[in-house]
Amino acid sequence: MDAQTWYLRTSKLALALAIIRSTPADTSSKEYTEHLAKVVSEQESMWRSKVQALEAEVLQLRHKLLLSRMRAGVFKSGDPSSQLQAQEPGSSENTLSLLEDSGCELSNEQRSEPSEMAQHFVESCSPTSFLPLPIVKRHCATVENPLSSHMHFLQHLLELKNLTESGSLKTDLSHFENDFSTVSDSVFQLLDGLITFYRNPRFPSSSFWEEAVNTLAGLISDSNLSNHILKKCSKKLEEFEKTLLQVILRSNHINRFQVQHYVSQSLVTLGSCSLLRKSIISLLLSEVNSFTDVLGTINQVQASYATHYENIFFLFWVLEQLLQKETKEGNTSSVGHDDQEIKKFLQKHDETIFQLSDAFPLFTFYLWRLGILLNSVETVQ
């Protein structure tokens, strides 16, 4: 017996003896032990909640600090008043102040006051006389949707990035890259929330989720931010893509088509980002290839495959949208015929259409269309 095992057994024995000796006379040792376990569990849950609240507060302070430093970089030189008026004439109605609101506010139930030192630290880093920046319309943070603060921060960040990369406000923000881990943390939590929602989507739903997917695609499309996000969130992104796919394929209730269209549009939005398009196309083609193999073994759609057969056409629609976008952009680095699923699809394309055209004419018609689009992508490349 090694020392670690001996100490563990000794500790357990000492704990058992202590419980037995302290057990009240009118209570059995088992009941008293269960009572102590419940007390410890409640305390652990309370402390865990406090830790999570403090972590959320720290992350929001990091949000504010990063945005403050970036704003200072944007307005460090030149006349911000004339620059903004030249770029956004008459946009005061849709303009919000980044100084007054970094998008990191909490609801009353969630808000906890930071220490005076932390508050002074953030305020001391903030510019004092900058004009408001145009940003997208915000949703109020709510208890039901605690992800709002992450969304606000990421939207503010994108707007700042857009301003610094165009017009006379062009500014180099590369020296803030060491702080972009804050962005990755928020994206990771936003993805967690998106996965939870899409696993059991409720309709009609808030436009928040649609905006969240748009924001996510915009962040990953940014050449600087994408490196940091993908380094931490690539597995989570892959899980999100698979979650969307499974929602489309597994829906079997009568009025499912609204949900499927909504989720399909989310996949198209994600695929608008060239860095994600290849993985999404490959994922969808993998499902199409697998189901094509299944149809090759039967003569007609059996009852067990009827729902899956209907749902697969949503994948066709998403694939067509993404491949048309690929052809239009002429992006040679995104979709290529070196992908195994694309190779498999094209190698069996003509033979599959010939074998299945009589039994499944509509299905093979969409296969034919996909083949044309994939070959047109190759022609562009």
**3 state DSSP class of 203:** coil
Q: Are 135 and 155 in contact, with CB atoms under 8 Å apart?
A: yes
Q: How far apart are CA 78 and CA 86, in angstroms?
A: 13
Q: How far apart are CA 209 and CA 263, in angstroms?
A: 10
How confident is the model over 232-257, as pLDDT tens digits? 889 999 999 999 999 999 888 777 78
More confident residue, 163 or 20: 20
pLDDT of residue 204: 66
Mean pLDDT of the residues in the chain: 75
Kindly tell me if the per-residue pLDDT of 165 is higher than 70: no
- In degrees and rounded to multiples of 5, residue 133 shows phi and psi of -105, 145
The residue behind tokens 């008293």 is 32
Contacts of 319 (CB under 8 A, 6+ apart): 281, 284, 285, 288, 370, 373
Kindly tell me if the per-residue pLDDT of 136 is higher than 60: no
User: 80 preceded by cis ω (within 30°)?
Assistant: no
DSSP β-bridge partners for residue 95: 134
Average pLDDT estimate for 271-283: 92
Other CB atoms within 10 A of residue 139 CB: 16
More confident residue, 230 or 81: 230
Q: Are 334 and 380 in contact, with CB atoms under 8 Å apart?
A: no
**Percentage of the chain lying above the pLDDT 90 cut:** 21
Q: Are 253 and 215 in contact, with CB atoms under 8 Å apart?
A: no
Residue 206 backbone class (left: φ over 0; alpha: ψ -120 to 50; beta: rest): beta
Kindly tell me if the per-residue pLDDT of 87 is higher than 90: no
Q: Are 220 and 278 in contact, with CB atoms under 8 Å apart?
A: no
Q: How far apart are CA 65 and CA 304, in angstroms?
A: 55
**3 state DSSP class of 338:** coil
Sequence-ordered strand ranges (E) for the chain: 95-96, 133-134
Q: How far apart are CA 185 and CA 311, in angstroms?
A: 34
Kindly tell me if the per-residue pLDDT of 89 is higher than 70: no
How confident is the model over 288-342, as pLDDT tens digits? 999 999 888 887 667 678 888 899 999 999 999 999 998 887 765 556 667 888 8
Q: How far apart are CA 188 and CA 80, in angstroms?
A: 34
DSSP β-bridge partners for residue 133: 96
Scored b (16 or more CB within 10 A) or e, 245-274 reads bebbbebeeeebeebbebbbebbbbbbbbb
User: Which of 93-102, 191-200, 205-214, 361-370 shows the lowest per-residue confidence on average (mean pLDDT)?
Assistant: 93-102
Average pLDDT estimate for 30-43: 83
- In degrees and rounded to multiples of 5, residue 250 shows phi and psi of -95, -5
